[in-house]
Amino acid sequence: EKIQQLIENVRRQLLSEMVIAISDGSEGFKQEQHSLGFDDMLSMLYRSLRNADSSASAITGIREKFDIVLIDEFQDTDYIQLDIFLRLFEKAGIPLFFIGDPKQSIYGFRGADIFAYMTARKKAERFYSLDTNYRSEDGMVNAVNALFSQARAPFVYDDEIPFTPVKAAGQPFLCGDALKSMQWWFIQPGQNSKGKNTPVSKKSATEIILQNLQDEIRRLLADKITIKENKLREGDIAILVRTNT
């Protein structure tokens, strides 16, 4: 156990030194190339606002540009961005609105930090939520409501990220399809020579999924299905995947 702990300590030390070396090397390379990225600009502003000698003029200069601040897609915020927003506008007497869907923060898209969102929520004086979904039809909205209402805290942090059922705006978006708005497809397990279930390989599962997907698209295009009173076309169909591969 002592040897394993020693190896683990060495591993952590090496990882730490590697991260520092890569970071320092990257900074040096960008300075030589006279280049800046989006993260670099954020870091420079963050350091400037935390520097007592430069923060006052920077804060005053930026505040003078805004009468009201609305930050859209706020769910993609990290702690550096949040610190910048709060230092600039929290006590500026300027209306500050954070607009976003916290459930999207869970995926860490664009470097989002769910805990940064939760920190901002605790500081907010008022909360407003939309109670109507204008992008999905009744069947899909009702299915989502039914699915997530089964769990006591579907997003774990129930106080900060509660699930609130919503209603659909009205008219069905897709007409003529007899299938339900939300369906789950399951791949059946394989069977060995003794008739017992066996796991499906990733390669086989991928082939099955792709074939079923093609069949479903053909069915949708062949049936008399309309979207906004026009016949469904290939360009109306979107396939959401986990990764680009």
User: pLDDT tens digits, residue range 52-75?
Assistant: 777 888 888 899 999 999 999 998
Instruction: Dihedral sign for Cα 131, 128, 150, 112, please.
Output: positive
Instruction: Say whether pLDDT at 76 is over 80.
Output: yes
For residues 145 and 191, give the distance between their C-alpha atoms in angstroms, rounded to a whole number: 36
Residue 75's nearest CA partner among 43, 39, 41, 115 is: 115
Quick one: pLDDT at residue 210? Answer: 93
SS3 percent helix, strand, coil of the chain, rounded to 5, is 50, 10, 40
Output the six-digit token pair for 188. 């059946």
For residues 99 and 90, give the distance between their C-alpha atoms in angstroms, rounded to a whole number: 15
For residues 33 and 41, give the distance between their C-alpha atoms in angstroms, rounded to a whole number: 15
Rounded mean pLDDT of 181-203? 86
Q: Which band of pLDDT confidence, cut at 50, 70 and 90, is reported for residue 27?
A: confident
Instruction: Say whether pLDDT at 34 is over 90.
Output: no
Residue 84's nearest CA partner among 72, 75, 71, 73 is: 71
For residues 65 and 67, give the distance between their C-alpha atoms in angstroms, rounded to a whole number: 7
Quick one: pLDDT at residue 173? Answer: 66
Q: Write the pLDDT tens digit of every residue in 207-217.
A: 999 999 999 99
Strand partners, 168: 133
For residues 43 and 133, give the distance between their C-alpha atoms in angstroms, rounded to a whole number: 37
Quick one: pLDDT at residue 215? Answer: 94
Q: Which band of pLDDT confidence, cut at 50, 70 and 90, is reported for residue 102?
A: confident
Instruction: Say whether pLDDT at 41 is over 80.
Output: yes
**pTM of this structure:** 0.67
Q: Which band of pLDDT confidence, cut at 50, 70 and 90, is reported for residue 171?
A: low
